[in-house]
Structure 1
Amino acid sequence: MVDWTAYNAARAELGSGFVRILGYFREDGVKSVAAIEAAMRAGQAAALVIPAHTLKGEARQFGAEPLAMLAETIEVIARDCVERQDTPEQALEDVTKLRPLFEETLALLEREASPLVTTRRPVAPGVGGFGRRAVPSGQ
């Protein structure tokens, strides 16, 4: 689902701005997916093109190739429909796959980007942790 080599290259290139840029990907992606779904419901091929194109490019930046390829498929169908002055019904199956793939991909990217990924440790029983009360021994 994610090309981790491309992801790590983007992370190295973006440095300290990586998490911020990933946040923009989340915001833009949510907007793009919503715009694609709205355009599909309205049968407006032209309105599919820009959000699909945007999502494609941003997904590729993070190594999310399956998401990028699905967005590209939607973009190509939409551009063809615009040229033929047709409605985008043939993109419906791809559009219905888009949101779940976006959400699953984003969860992977964000989990990997979390500074807690390598430091998460289970709290031993009886030991206090954030939001937990220490249990005195013998209880």
Structure 2
Amino acid sequence: MVQSGNGVVNWTTFDQTRALIGNDFTKILGYYRDDAAKCVVAVEQAYKLRDAVSMVRPAHTLKGDSLQFGGEALGKLAEHIEHSARRCVEEHSAPDKLDAEILQLRPLLIETLSHFERALAKTAAVPMIRRPAAAGFGRKAG
């Protein structure tokens, strides 16, 4: 695949990571989805509190994880937020000038995940196998 026209996803990186991870790619991407959402919430909350120190780690994590999966635009935005927060920590100042970036973070995550999910749906030719319901969690033994 080629990089999308709007630059949200680097499909070369996405495909390379997918090939490297192999059969567990969908499961690992699910972990990314959950972790990325937590990072976005943490960055938003820290920004609301004007706490630059608390912004650094989730922004750094979001940057690295996003770039590994090809989430180019999200990774670059998270990197900008991380660097700005680090600068504020060094200067002992509040992160007051990231309003536009913080507002872009959540919608960009949603857009990135949407691109990933569409790509997976296109290649998901594996039929779902129905297994018989077993007694256990949520099931009454018979």
TM range (shorter): 0.7 to 0.9
Q: TM-score when scaled to structure 1?
A: 0.81
Partner of 1:84: 91
SS in 2 for 1:112: helix
Which runs of 5 or more residues in structure 1 are unaligned?
121-139
User: Following superposition, which runs of at least 4 residues in structure 1 exceed 4 angstroms of deviation?
Assistant: none
Q: Tell me by how many angstroms 1:113 deviates.
A: 1.7
Q: How far, CA to CA, are the matches of 2:20 and 2:79 in structure 1?
A: 24
Which runs of 5 or more residues in structure 2 are unaligned?
1-7, 126-142
1:106-125 equivalences in 2 (<5 Å): 106-114=113-121, 117-118=122-123
Partner of 1:50: 57
1:18-57 equivalences in 2 (<5 Å): 18-57=25-64
- Paired residues in the alignment total 118
Q: 1:95-124: CA deviations, max 9, x gaps?
A: 11100001100111122123xx2579xxxx
Q: How far, CA to CA, are the matches of 1:13 and 1:6 in structure 2?
A: 10
Q: Tell me by how many angstroms 1:90 deviates.
A: 1.2
Q: TM-score when scaled to structure 2?
A: 0.80
Q: How far, CA to CA, are the matches of 1:79 and 1:23 in structure 2?
A: 29
Q: Given residue 119 of structure 2, which amino acid in structure 1 is its aligned partner?
A: E
Identity of aligned residues (%): 45
C-alpha RMSD of the superposition: 1.3
Q: How far, CA to CA, are the matches of 1:111 and 1:69 in structure 2?
A: 22
